[in-house]
């Protein structure tokens, strides 16, 4: 299957309209809280300092990732999701390529970290991420920390 045409939108939280923000947060809650049956604080206080990357198809958020840098740590990609209605179209690959490129632009010369659900370890490894922790359970779901080393211009 080929990836459909999409556009990328990267913004800070305060750049969203109320309607756009509602749709974005509803999508995150629908996937991470409802679909994954995981009661946890989805609104964790980190959105204000993050970049929000949306992959849009016909103006609709088809995929999303949150990019941010915790104090004293490498930048992180988190809250990675593909909308249920757009799965099976290789949008996860496209989303992660865009997220990596955005991190490299905003946080040049730094590795990129993420906390992967364990069943997605091979997917993230295919994008250059390497495990940095043993498996652990977070919010009832097995995870593993991973990091993508800095990639030089000649290695791209």
For the full predicted model, state whether its pTM sits above 0.75: yes
Torsion angle (degrees, nearest 10) of CA 13, 16, 20, 23? 0
At 45-104, the pLDDT tens digits run 999 999 999 999 999 999 999 999 999 999 999 999 999 999 999 999 999 999 999 999
Neighbour-count burial for 38-51, b at 16+ CB within 10 Å, e otherwise: eeeeeeeeebeebb
Rounded mean pLDDT of the chain?
A: 93
């Amino acid at each position: 299957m080929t990836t459909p045409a999409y556009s990328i939108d990267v913004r800070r939280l305060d750049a969203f309209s109320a309607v756009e923000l509602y749709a974005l947060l509803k999508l995150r809650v629908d996937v991470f809280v409802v679909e994954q049956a995981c009661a946890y604080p989805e609104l964790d206080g980190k959105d204000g300092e993050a970049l929000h990357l949306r992959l849009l198809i016909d103006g609709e958020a088809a995929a999303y990732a949150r990019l941010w840098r915790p104090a004293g740590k490498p930048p992180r990609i988190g809250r990675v999701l593909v909308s249920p209605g757009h799965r099976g179209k290789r949008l996860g690959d496209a989303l992660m390529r865009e997220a990596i490129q955005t991190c490299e632009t905003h946080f040049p010369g730094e590795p990129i970290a993420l906390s992967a659900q364990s069943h997605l370890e091979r997917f993230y490894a295919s994008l250059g991420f390497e495990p940095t922790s043993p498996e652990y359970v977070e919010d009832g779901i097995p995870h593993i920390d991973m990091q993508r080393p800095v990639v030089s211009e000649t290695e791209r």
